[in-house]
Amino acid sequence: MGIADLGCSTGPNTLSVISEIIDVIYSKCCHLGRPPPELRISLNDLYSNDFNDIFVSLPDFYNKMKEDKGTGGPRACFISGVPGSFYGRLFPSKSLHFVHSSSSLHWLSQAPPGLDSKASVAINKGKVYISKSSPQSVLDSYSLQFQKDFSMFLKSRSEEVVLGGRIVLSLMGRSSMDPTTEESCHHWELLAHALMSMVSEGLIPEEKVDTFNAPYYAPCAEEVKLEIQKEGSFIMDRLEAFDIDWDGGVDACNSIETLSSGQRVAKTIRAVVESMLEPHFGREIMDDLFRRYAKMVDNHLSKTRTKYMNLVVSFIRVDQIEGQR
């Protein structure tokens, strides 16, 4: 059975999803009275991901699996790393039965091209993402880039997933057709405010802010459904949306120091976006930037309770005639 985790990253939770998938498979096989299949598990992320950290943790993972599953231990589970972008082919044709991806598909393959005017003047000045003040052309550029990327993702997986195979995705989204809603872009708006405060103090040039555009897009459910229908190789099985508090994903009790909500949010956001910001703005401003950002988030959360929206979608590989009905 071929399984792939796309955008696996490297960290303490990298193998937790795989462990849960294996548990479900073993439980189902036990319920049916059948022996579990051999599992070929592929962990994918970009070439820059540190796969060595994952590989070093595999002996402990295999040993725990052997203890939990007995004779169905490591000999029945073969884990490998597959570097590369999932916005293209990664695996042989018809080699996957189950594909999982969490917190990855909202990252675009690139920032949308064309965010400069014909005179090479930035058209989303003072911003790093979509905002209420962004021109319609900026909104359209981001939407088009998502359509291109997600379409390529689906086309690539349609070649790799067997008929009847399943894909389960979890990604940041929004509840409205309007891409400027607070749930989908306000954390970027506050980051832009933090950067512009540094511009006003002469710490960074304004041009640096004007020329940075986040390669990110939080789609609504309708956009996801439409691209799946257009590609035609899958049928939607289930789509759910749920809210997450801005600081709900960080356990303050795990830290020796007591952090404010803003500091917890800033710590989480920094872990995700610093690698994108640092080459453009410089390493030397990162500490100051995220201190400012934390204060702005604290101020924002003192006035309102803000949430992210997460979309979870499950779809099944079918022949194209069935998928286009």
Measured at the alpha carbon of residue 224, what is the angle toward residues 219 and 226, in degrees to the nearest 5? 125
Asked whether residue 286 is assigned to any structural domain, the reply reads yes
pLDDT tens figures, 119-128: 567 889 999 9
Confidence class for position 256, pLDDT limits 50, 70, 90:
very low
Asked whether residue 69 is assigned to any structural domain, the reply reads no
Using an 8 Å Cβ cutoff, are 7 and 53 in contact?
no
Span between the terminal Cα atoms of the chain, in Å = 29
Asked whether residue 163 is assigned to any structural domain, the reply reads yes
Asked whether residue 148 is assigned to any structural domain, the reply reads yes
Ranking 64-73, 132-141, 183-192, 193-202 by mean pLDDT, the lowest is 64-73
Please give the Cα distance from 47 to 176 (Å, whole number).
Answer: 34
Decide: residue 20, CB within 10 A, 0-12 exposed, 13-18 middle, 19+ buried: exposed
Q: In DSSP terms, which residues pair with 45 in a beta bridge?
A: 83
Measured at the alpha carbon of residue 147, what is the angle toward residues 210 and 216, in degrees to the nearest 5? 35
Confidence class for position 20, pLDDT limits 50, 70, 90:
very high
Asked whether residue 20 is assigned to any structural domain, the reply reads no
Residue 254 neighbours by CB under 8 Å, 6+ apart: none
User: Which pair of structure tokens corresponds to residue 20?
Assistant: 């849960």
Confidence class for position 322, pLDDT limits 50, 70, 90:
low
pLDDT at 321 over 80: no
pLDDT at 116 over 80: no
Between 74 and 97, whose confidence is greater?
A: 97
pLDDT tens figures, 32-72: 999 889 999 999 999 999 999 999 999 999 888 888 776 55
Using an 8 Å Cβ cutoff, are 64 and 47 in contact?
no
Between 254 and 272, whose confidence is greater?
A: 272
| pLDDT, the chain, mean | 91
Asked whether residue 119 is assigned to any structural domain, the reply reads yes
Please give the Cα distance from 95 to 101 (Å, whole number).
Answer: 17
CATH number, domain containing residue 317: 1.10.1200.270
pLDDT tens figures, 221-240: 999 999 999 999 999 999 99
Please give the Cα distance from 278 to 39 (Å, whole number).
Answer: 39
Give the domain range for residue 212.
Answer: 85-323
Report pLDDT for 131: 95
Confidence class for position 258, pLDDT limits 50, 70, 90:
confident
Confidence class for position 325, pLDDT limits 50, 70, 90:
low
Asked whether residue 72 is assigned to any structural domain, the reply reads no
pLDDT tens figures, 196-219: 999 999 999 999 999 999 999 999
Q: Per-residue pLDDT averaged across 170-196, rounded? A: 94
Asked whether residue 213 is assigned to any structural domain, the reply reads yes
Question: What's the domain count of the chain?
Answer: 1
Between 116 and 123, whose confidence is greater?
A: 123
Any idea which residue has 């962990």 for tokens?
43
Which string of b and e fits 152-178 if b means at least 16 CB within 10 Å?
bbbebbbebbeeebbbbbbbbbbeeee
Position 308: which residue type? Y
pTM of the full predicted structure? 0.91
